[in-house]
Amino acid sequence: MPSRTLHPEIQYRTLDQQGETAQLGMWVFIATETLFFGALLFVYFLYRRAYPAAFAQAGKDAVLWCGTVNLVLLLTSSLTMVLSINAAADGRRRAIAAWLVATALLGFVFLGVKGYEYYADYADQVVPAVNFMIKAGEAPVGELFWVFYFVATGLHAVHLSIGLGLILYMLRRVRRGDLSPAYYAPLEVVGLYWGFVDTVWLFLYPAIYLVGR
């Protein structure tokens, strides 16, 4: 199917200007998200500094293999996302879709692993307000570690799910022929967002899984 001829919206002179502006918009949005997650990480590190032993103890129960597998999944998905954008620059429509599907699959597997991990956490009785139990030799204040764990990974999962939605939406646009080598800014914008989702995990991973190890 040939690409549809796209016109820039009324406020733009050229498609290029529209595309550049969309990307700037996503960068600005990522800046706000940096402050959002940054505030959470700041509070986490503050309490970790106040109770280093308790946090290290609590962190031992974090399921390291789940976190690490998820790290690998997300890093790979960033690669596939970049490959999808590369394909768009060349106009290889099947490749764009294929790499997008790969990215989405990796994202879904991430959620699956995360879901399993939450189940394991529940079995371990570390879910605050639900079934949190202080283990022998652990300080009660260690529960704060788990509060951060669930808030941080929960928020991350929400952002990742939104990313999956955006990827599926991109797939639809690719199928409709909306992208061409002359204009594939929407894909780049989604790629930027996905990169941000990946970067957040790069910060959460050491904070959650490597504390005290």
Partner 1 sequence: MATVAADLETPSFLTSENTLSSWLLTRDHKRIALLFFASITVFFFVGGFAATLIRLHLAMPIGFLQPSIYNRMFTMHGVVMVWFFLIPSIPATLGNFLLPLMIGAHDLAFPRLNLASWYVFNLSGLVLLYALIMGGVDTGWTFYTPFSTLYSNGYVLAAAMAVFINGFSTIMTALNFVVTTHRLRAPGMTWYRLPLFVWAIYSTSIVMLLATPVLAMTVLILAVDHVLGVGLFDPGRGGDPLLYQHLFWFYSHPAVYIMILPAMGVVSELVTCYARKTVFGYTGMTLALMAIAVISFFVWGHHMFTAGISIYSAVVFSLMTFFVAVPSAIKVFNWTVTLHKGSISFDAPMIYALGFVLLFTVGGLTGLIVATLALDVHLQDTYFIIAHFHYIMVGGTVSAFFGGLHYWWPKITGRFYPEMWARFAAILTFTGFNLTFFPQFILGYLGMPRRYYAYPPEWQPWNVLSSAGASILAVAYVLPLGYLGWSLIWGRRAGPNPWHATGLEWQVSSPPPQYNFARTPTVTIGPYAYNTEDGSYTAQDGTVHA
Partner 2 sequence: MPAWIPFWPQTAATSGVVVNTLFVAELAVCFLILVLVFGMMLSFCVRYRRGSPASRTHPVQKTWKWEIGWTVGTLVAFLALFVWGAAIYIWLYKSPPGDIEIYVVGKQWMWKMQHPGGQREIDALHVPVGKIVRLVLASQDVIHSFYIPAFRIKHDVVPGTYETAWFKATETGQYPIECSEFCGTQHADMKGEVIVMEAAAYTRWLAQPGSGPSLAQQGEALFRQYGCSGCHGAGSTVHAPSLAGLSGSLVQLQDGSTVRADERYIRDAILLPENQIVAGFPPVMPSFSGQIGEDDLLKIIAYIQSL
Q: Which residues contact partner 2 by CB under 8 A? A: 50-51, 53-54, 139-141
3-state secondary structure of 178: coil
Nearer to partner 2, 142 or 191 (CB): 142
The distance of closest approach from Cβ of residue 191 to partner 1 in the complex, given in angstroms and rounded to an integer, is 18
CB of 139 to partner 2, least distance (A): 6
Helix/strand number for the chain, H first, E second: 6, 0
Contact residue for partner 1 among 3, 6, 15, 29 (CB under 8 A):
29
CB of 152 to partner 1, least distance (A): 10
94-102: long-range contacts (C-beta < 8 A, 24 or more apart)?
A: 96/174, 96/179, 96/187, 97/171, 97/174, 97/175, 100/167, 100/170, 100/171, 100/174, 101/171, 102/77
Q: Does 137 engage in binding with partner 1 (CB under 8 A)?
A: no
Q: How many CA atoms lie within 13 A of 6 on its CB side?
A: 23
Alpha-carbon torsion (41, 104, 102, 121), positive or negative: positive
Specify the residue for token string 């939450």. 118
9 binds, among partner 1, partner 2, none (CB under 5 to 8 A by kind): partner 1
**Among partner 1, partner 2, none, what binds residue 53 when CB lies within 5 to 8 Å by partner kind?**
partner 2
Amino acid at 80: T
- The CB-of-125 to partner 1 minimum distance in angstroms stands at 15
Is residue 10 near partner 1 by the rule CB under 8 A? yes
Residue reference for tokens 């079934």: 131
- In the window 48-87, what residues touch partner 1 (CB under 8 A)? 50-51, 54
- The residues binding partner 1 (CB under 8 A) are 9-13, 17, 20-21, 24-25, 28-29, 31-37, 39-40, 43, 46-47, 50-51, 54, 128-129, 140-141, 143-144, 147, 151
